[in-house]
Homo-oligomer: A and B are copies of this chain.
Amino acid sequence: MKRLFFFLFLLLATAVNTAFAAEVTSPNGEVKVVFNLDNTTPTYMVSYRGKAVVKPSRLGYELANAENLLDGFKLAGQETGAFDETWKPVWGESSSIRNHYNELLVHLVQEKTDRHMDIRFRVYDEGMGLRYEFPQEGKLNYFTVKEERTEFAMTGDHTAWWIPGDYDTQEYEYTRSRLSEIRGLLQKAITDNLSQTSFSTTGVQTSLMLKTDDGLYLNLHEAALVDYPAMHLDLDDKSMTFRSWLTPDAQGMKGWLQTPCQSPWRTVMVTDDARKVLASNLILNLNEPCKLADTSWIHPTKYVGVWWEMISGKGDWAYTSQFPSVKLGLTDYAKAQPSGRHSANNANVRRYIDFAADNGFDQVLVEGWNIGWEDWAGNMKEKVFDFLTPYPDFDIKALNNYAHARGVKLMMHHETSSSVMNYEKYMDRAYQLMKDYGYDAVKSGYVGNIIPRGEHHYSQLEINHYLHAVKRAADYHIMVNAHEAVRPTGLCRTYPNLIGNESARGTEYQAFGGTRPGHTAILPFTRLQGGPMDYTPGIFEMDCANGSHCNSTICGQLALYVTMYSPLQMAADFPENYMKHADAFQFIKDVAVDWDKSVYLEAEPQEYITAARKAKGTDNWFVGSVAGMKGRTSAIALDFLDKGRKYEATIYMDGADADYKSRPQSYKIVKRTVTAKTKLKLRAAAGGGYAISIMAK
């Protein structure tokens, strides 16, 4: 680990500078950020290889019940510095990550009010981050944000891959369009969700992927979202300027801040190579180092689960269909007539435990183990679950004992139904129950509207809740995989027990009517920028009991274990479906979930991604490639392999007649010896892909 740090401090105390400019460039000199105090208003602009990427854009805040922090500023000083450090993540796409940037910190003071606002820029070779910092000095102590007014002035009518701005969900399909077309396409892009709140006819979410007509790839996002509402982007489609749009609380306020504090980082990535977006660690690097003293208990996990049965319509979370309404403590489950459709029953869970043990999986997720599922969603019910009481046919003690005897663990499930206050009331008991029975990972869920009512999934109070759940879990040595929580912003660096998130449209939508091919070729450019996604791939039987069809080939599913980086990977389908294709299932059994090194071989948003990763602590590599609507013929070189070494490759590829609609189960498996000199030409069908295991001989 090398580390270099120096600062230049220039105090300009006497001269009142209401016009002032300073600049900072990336280590390689290609990205430049210029800060300007333009007639007392702070602005910045970003260029790449001398060409504007973000035109002059204003910075500041509109406050509630106080003078705004938009103008009237003078320079009180500036600092510049450089930083170069290599750090080792607890888990990740590579075993070490370089954090290398140049920095500019501008100290501003609003003359009339003596309030201080600093702006810090960090410039990397692949982009930049800026954040506001409010020191505990001057007249600013507590303040309430009406709106953050950060602009991102685009240089043209770029192509964007976007989902609708929403205070409560990210579970949308992506639309590719010109910026100028967003307004016309937005309504159509808003598909149903149990909790959703859109706010503008040109509002979109981060991370937002863009491409300019001259071939630059841009990405706008945020990093280190802590004690602050999540940021959306609202487009002024006359000037092609995005403006920050924070998530309000129940009273419409957008942040309750107390100095000293800072905003999350606002990030702009820029490169001429789409693969560099995928390889970037910008978001992780802008987060704080790990705050957990002991991380030995955190481990990447491959798992199966009692889940797809319910999602695909074969079984239920609920134990009975007798109760139109359930009140915990009042409803008597002992007297209930079982529906016969309850998937989380002792016999079925044992079946999954056996399957996991027989095939090398670490854990078995069991959803629907606890009472309350007969009546859990859609009513903003406060006391919806207790996270403590199993259904009569789920013997928590015996099943955990059985799992442990077979060398696997059960994975806990805490669906909160978004009744956050209820979850917090039970959290300590729920985590303690996990420890009592030997669980060390929880999948949590936030389906439906938030309680406290009027708050949103991405309001500050909820942001604080999600992090509280992760930090408190760490006290119990529990890993967290939160679904429907806020989109991640790299906090897994600081709290690596945040092992996963959903926060996007996952595989479940393949059972809710399907997702268009290409979705998994855009997610790594957007959603995955902030951290891993529990995408739950591995569907082999594309036709669901409920009639929905999964728009993918089997090889398209296999590829996801490599292309969708996550330390938490599920094999989501039923054991019996895997057994029908045991040869293809072998890849899921073999593939690693933690890596020493990752190489992106090919990438274009929504079109294709091909990645190669070296399994941690081994000399084995795994390659995955997914294709969108057009399919893709890859020509890849295996030059990432050790020179002069021989490897045994097993190639899982779409059959010649494979088709995500009509012949999704057509695949071919080829074994051959490969070296660093090998070049491969492989065809992925539309909605398909390929996967390769490359074992060192």
Query: Which A residues are within 8 Å of any B CB, using their own CB?
Result: 136, 141-142, 249-251, 253, 256, 258-260, 324-325, 327, 330, 379-382, 421, 424-425, 427-429, 451-455, 461, 464-465, 468, 472
Contacts and interface: CB of A to CB of B under 8 A. Distances in A.
A188 to B, nearest CB: 27
A259 B464 contact: no
Contacts of A465: 421
A260, A454, A464: residue with the most chain B Cβ atoms closer than 10 Å? A454
A234 to B, nearest CB: 24
Given A327-B258, A379-B258, A421 B461 contact: yes
Contacts of A380: 256
A63 to B, nearest CB: 14
Nearest to A431: B428
A250 B452 contact: yes
A244 B343 CA distance: 47
Contact of A454 (B142, B249, B472): B249
Given A256-B381, A382-B461, 17 more contacts: A136-B324, A141-B325, A142-B381, A250-B452, A256-B380, A256-B382, A258-B325, A258-B327, A258-B379, A260-B327, A421-B424, A421-B452, A425-B427, A425-B468, A425-B472, A428-B429, A452-B461
13 contacts: A136-B325, A250-B452, A256-B382, A256-B453, A258-B325, A258-B327, A258-B379, A259-B325, A260-B330, A421-B465, A425-B427, A425-B468, A428-B429
Q: Is the interface of A mostly helix, strand, loop or mixed?
A: loop
Contacts of A142: 325, 379, 381
B253 A453 contact: yes
A244 B581 CA distance: 67
A550 to B, nearest CB: 34
Contacts of A251: 250, 453-454
Contacts of A453: 249-251, 253, 256, 461
Contacts of A429: 428
A250, A453, A464: residue with the most chain B Cβ atoms closer than 10 Å? A453
A619 to B, nearest CB: 44
A453 B460 CA distance: 11
A249 B330 CA distance: 25
Contacts of A424: 421, 424-425
User: How many subunits of this chain does the assembly comprise?
Assistant: 2
Contacts of A472: 425
A323 to B, nearest CB: 9
A250 B250 CA distance: 6
Nearest to A252: B454
Contacts of A141: 324-325, 379
A327 B226 CA distance: 14
A260 B331 CA distance: 10
A511 to B, nearest CB: 27
Given A250-B452, A325-B136, A258 B421 contact: no
5 pairs of A and B residues whose beta carbons are closest in the complex: A452-B452, A428-B428, A250-B250, A250-B454, A142-B379
Contacts of A327: 258, 260
A72 to B, nearest CB: 23
Nearest to A461: B452
Contacts of A464: 382
Nearest to A455: B452
A474 B687 CA distance: 57
Nearest to A256: B380
Contacts of A455: 250, 452
Contacts of A325: 136, 141-142, 258-259
Contacts of A421: 421, 424, 452, 461, 465
A249 B382 CA distance: 13
Contacts of A253: 453
A428 B427 CA distance: 9
Contacts of A249: 453-454
A134 B148 CA distance: 46
Nearest to A381: B258
A108 to B, nearest CB: 20
A471 to B, nearest CB: 10
A235 to B, nearest CB: 29
A355 B626 CA distance: 77
Contacts of A451: 461
A144 to B, nearest CB: 9
A258 B324 CA distance: 11
A263 to B, nearest CB: 16
A136 B258 CA distance: 47
A389 to B, nearest CB: 15
Contacts of A136: 324-325
A327 B141 CA distance: 11
Nearest to A261: B327
A428 B452 CA distance: 20
A595 to B, nearest CB: 33
A660 to B, nearest CB: 41
A554 to B, nearest CB: 43
A421 B460 CA distance: 13
A61 B464 CA distance: 36
A680 B258 CA distance: 62
A325 B259 CA distance: 8
A141 B464 CA distance: 32
Nearest to A475: B429
Nearest to A423: B424
A464 B330 CA distance: 17
A381 B464 CA distance: 13
A95 to B, nearest CB: 31
Nearest to A378: B142
